[in-house]
């Protein structure tokens, strides 16, 4: 057998040009670019992560979204979905950070606004929560997204609770 053909079960040795590796280290290119992953491939993985999250496989989804954020660290969608995975695992500080990053890259990202608003509510920061949830609904007034449907339901519930408190006075 030739030395150039790997044996079955052996990994093929990948030679990485030194300049390309250095560009990744310097932050000049992202890991996804280094690995030559297309946007379509990255979003196919994101879809798989979303499906896992919806199916209750939060830890697996978390791993996928962590990888996607590493591969494309300026993509707001990947940060928002990473935040959603952290939320399902009740890792609220990490979720908040992920939503914050998503909003740095896209300040109108509806899912990130709702997620950050939900974390604000858990922390008792009601004015900040109301601002984020309201802004999300302004971005999606037809409530087309699940996140804005949740935001709308949350705001309606908060209003009902406030009305109950006013009646009790």
User: Is the distance from CB of 102 to CB of 83 less than 8 angstroms?
Assistant: yes
Q: Tell me phi and psi for residue 43, to 5 degrees.
A: -70, -25
Range of the domain at 129: 108-169
For residues 7-28, average pLDDT: 57
17 falls within a domain: no
- Judge whether residue 128 has pLDDT over 60: yes
| Total length of the chain | 169
Residue 102 sits in the same domain as residue 114? no
Per-chain mean pLDDT for the chain: 85
118 falls within a domain: yes
Rounded distance, CA 151 to CA 134, Å?
A: 8
137 falls within a domain: yes
pTM, entire model: 0.78
Rounded distance, CA 116 to CA 100, Å?
A: 7
């Amino acid at each position: 057998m030739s030395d150039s053909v790997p044996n079955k079960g052996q990994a093929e040795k990948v030679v990485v040009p030194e300049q390309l590796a250095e560009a990744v280290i310097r932050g000049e290119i992202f890991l996804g670019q280094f690995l030559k992953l297309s946007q379509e491939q990255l979003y196919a993985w994101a879809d798989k992560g979303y499906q896992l999250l919806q199916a209750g496989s939060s830890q697996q989804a978390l791993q996928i979204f962590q990888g996607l954020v590493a591969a494309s660290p300026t993509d707001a969608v990947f940060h928002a979905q990473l935040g959603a995975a952290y939320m399902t695992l009740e890792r609220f500080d990490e979720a908040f950070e992920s939503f914050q990053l998503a909003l740095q890259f896209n300040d109108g990202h509806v899912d990130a606004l709702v997620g950050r608003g939900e974390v604000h509510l858990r922390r008792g920061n009601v004015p900040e929560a109301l601002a984020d949830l309201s802004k999300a609904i302004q971005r999606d007034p037809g409530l087309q997204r699940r996140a804005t449907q949740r935001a709308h339901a949350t705001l309606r519930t908060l209003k009902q609770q406030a009305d109950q408190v006013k009646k009790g006075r």
